[in-house]
A and B are shown apart, each in its own frame.
Chain A
Amino acid sequence: MPQGPGGGHPDDVLSAYLDDELAPAARHEVEAHLAGCAGCRAELDDVAAARRAIRVLPVHPAPRPLVGAGPLDGAWWPGGAPAPGSGPGGRRRRFVWALAAAAAAVIALLLPRDPEVAPSLPSLADSHAATASVTGDPLTQLAPIAVPVRFGP
């Protein structure tokens, strides 16, 4: 018999039973359980009453930002009508949002806020020597930047 987490009572399939969505064998098992369980019969009556009450409520479209915003989108729309945004247009919007988020992530990864800097050491050393040669001895300050670069053996 279909059983729910409540300890043998088919709480989680009562809704499907009301919607006639259960397979014949499962449906027979539920009916057999209901015949001998007053608690489940009362639960079934409550669920059925709640459904009737909800179905007489007027239908209001959801605010636009909620369309396509969650996992319940389109799955629990009153009256069984397809929710706005759950059709082909909604899927397209979700795709665009996902694409934009992915693009933002890629941009964030590839474009650091500050530029990358690779100091040119020879150029900065030349600038230092030029400055130091004006305030200090020009002979010994300038000669080091004039020598051809030759490394020892």
Chain B
Amino acid sequence: VRTRRVAFGCLAACSAVVGLTAARPAAALPGPSTAGPETSAVDLLDRAREAAETQTFEGTVAVEWRDGGQRHSAEVAVRSAGGVLRFGDEVVGAGSKRMIHSADGWLSLWGHDVATLGPPPTAKYRLAVQPGPDIAARPTDVVAVQLVGANRLRERLYVDRDSGLLLRRELLDMSGTPYRSVAFTALTAGPGPAGTATAATVSAPPVAHSQEPTPAHHLKAPYKLHSRIGTGYRLVGAYKANGVVQQFFSDGLHGLSVFEQPGHLRGAETTLAGASGAGRAVEIAGHTMRAYSASVGEAVVWESDGVVYTAVTDGPWSDLAGAVRDLPHADPPGRLRRVAQTVVSLFRWK
């Protein structure tokens, strides 16, 4: 906890500095701004992160995403009290712990603090704060996100003026239309009858199984640590769990994970959404790969030199494609070559 607080402290200190720089691009964007000079975009985002972990509230969140030409949507109830954030009966976040409900009970996915939160978002993005529309009947400030040097809006983040909670987050396509979003449709926040009831009912469940990864500071071949990939994604940490290596990158707003497993690609078991399917074929850096879209984000699966890569991001597809270009992507060997490798390996001195 102390490590995380130190990280937050550093981030807050950095935010105070970068907040001054973030206020300047805000003036360059169209639309009025009622946010004071002390309320920078980075401050708002940092406050939203802490509010989600500390505020008492309950409500309903709608998740919408697009998979090819098909739109999908789903809702989930959210409750938070006493530092425990609960999404329906499926997902729980408590401090640095993350749990998901599985067929065998509650599965722990994460259980330790991180030493770094990634780079400041202002290294890659221009952030501007504007008054936003009411979300779930609550007034908001909206953080408009553009790439540095670009004119098109990539994302909007709507922050509750009262509670500081992030009420809506939407990624925009080329025409400015949201293609993936998470938004409160109803919210009761703060102490009160509803809040008291929430505090009494929200608690962290007992964990039946653990899949928590352990930090991997040094990786042996065939793994290779990448300090940065794609457009502004920097390595936050490398982890290992059940024979799978995960390198997690951040650009300050989005995360991007690269999972590596030794072997040959047989095909993904399921789509990101959990239904049977084989995704869609995409061409990246001259190589054909399988891509998937779902509520979580985008994913690409491919094989290179005896390692199966799965890259997942909650950011835009273009970020994922850019990151994949910086990773190994040799053509998988043909069957004849694999047979030859196998025969040769039988006579190889170990």
Residues of A whose CB lies within 8 Å of any CB of B are: 104, 108-109, 111-122, 124-152
**Smallest CB separation, A108 vs chain B (Å):** 5
Residues of A within 8 A of B306 (CB): 114
B259 near A113 with CB under 8 A, answer no
Bound CA–CA A118/B290 (angstroms): 12
Q: Say yes or no for B343: interface residue by CB 8 A criterion.
A: yes
Given that A118-B267, A139-B85 are contacting pairs, would A147 and B63 also be in contact in the complex, using a CB cutoff of 8 Å? yes
Contacting residues, chain B, for A129 (C-beta < 8 A): 296, 314
Cross-interface CB contact of B266 among A118, A139, A141, cutoff 8 Å: A118
Bits for B51-88, please: 1 = Cβ < 8 Å to A, else 0. 01100000001010100001111111010000001011
B284 at the interface (CB under 8 A from A): no
**How distant is A53 from chain B, measured CB to nearest CB, in Å?**
44
Q: Kindly list chain B residues whose C-beta atoms are within 8 Å of the C-beta of A149.
A: 74, 273-275
Interface residue total, chain B, C-beta cutoff 8 A: 86
Bound-state Cα–Cα, A122 to B299, Å: 10
Quick one: which of A119, A121, A144 contacts B63, CB cutoff 8 A? A144
Partner of A145, one of B78, B91, B257: B91
Q: Which residue from A113, A124, A148 sits with its C-beta under 8 Å from B312?
A: A124
Whether A115 contacts B264 by the Cβ 8 Å rule is: yes
- B275 is contacted by which of A135, A144, A151, A152 (Cβ under 8 Å)? A151
Interface status of B198 (Cβ within 8 A of chain A): no
Is B110 interfacial (CB-CB < 8 Å)? yes
Bound form: Cα–Cα A17–B307 in Å? 68
Q: Which of A112, A119, A145, A151 contacts B301 (CB 8 A)?
A: A119
A109: chain B residues at CB < 8 Å are: 339
Are A139 and B269 closer than 8 Å at their CB atoms? no
B241 at the interface (CB under 8 A from A): yes
Given contacts A130-B109, A135-B118, contact A143 B61 (CB under 8 A): yes
Chain A residues in 8 Å Cβ range of B70: 151-152
- Cα separation A135 to B72 with both chains bound (whole Å): 27
CA distance A111 to B253 in the complex (A): 44
A residues less than 8 Å from B40 (CB atoms): none
Q: Which residues of B contact A148 (CB under 8 A)?
A: 74, 76
Q: Output the nearest chain A residue to B239 by Cβ-Cβ distance.
A: A131
Q: Using known A-B contacts A113-B342, A146-B76, determine if residue A127 contacts B52 with beta carbons closer than 8 Å.
A: no
Contact of B343 among A104, A143, A146, A152 (CB under 8 A): A104
Q: Are A121 and B271 in contact (CB under 8 A)?
A: yes
Known: A149-B273, A152-B71. A127 touches B296 (CB 8 A): no
B residues near A108, Cβ cutoff 8 Å? 339, 342-343, 346
User: Which residues of chain B are within 8 angstroms of A114 by Cβ–Cβ distance?
Assistant: 262-264, 306
A128's contact among B96, B165, B312, B346, by CB below 8 Å, is which? B312
Minimum CB–CB distance for A24 against chain B, Å: 55
Contact A143 B63 (CB under 8 A): yes
A137 touches B264 (CB 8 A): no
Q: Which residue of A lies closest to B212 (CB)?
A: A130
Interface bits B139-176 vs A (CB < 8 Å: 1, else 0): 00000000000000000000000000110010000000
A-B contact pairs, 30 of them (CB 8 A): A104-B346, A109-B339, A111-B342, A116-B263, A116-B264, A116-B266, A117-B262, A117-B265, A118-B266, A121-B269, A121-B301, A124-B257, A124-B299, A124-B310, A127-B213, A127-B259, A128-B313, A129-B296, A131-B255, A134-B114, A135-B117, A139-B85, A144-B63, A144-B294, A144-B297, A145-B100, A146-B76, A146-B87, A149-B275, A152-B71
Check if B48 is an interface residue, CB within 8 A of chain A.
Answer: yes
A135 to B2, CA, bound (A): 15
- Minimum distance in angstroms from A72 CB to a CB of chain B: 28
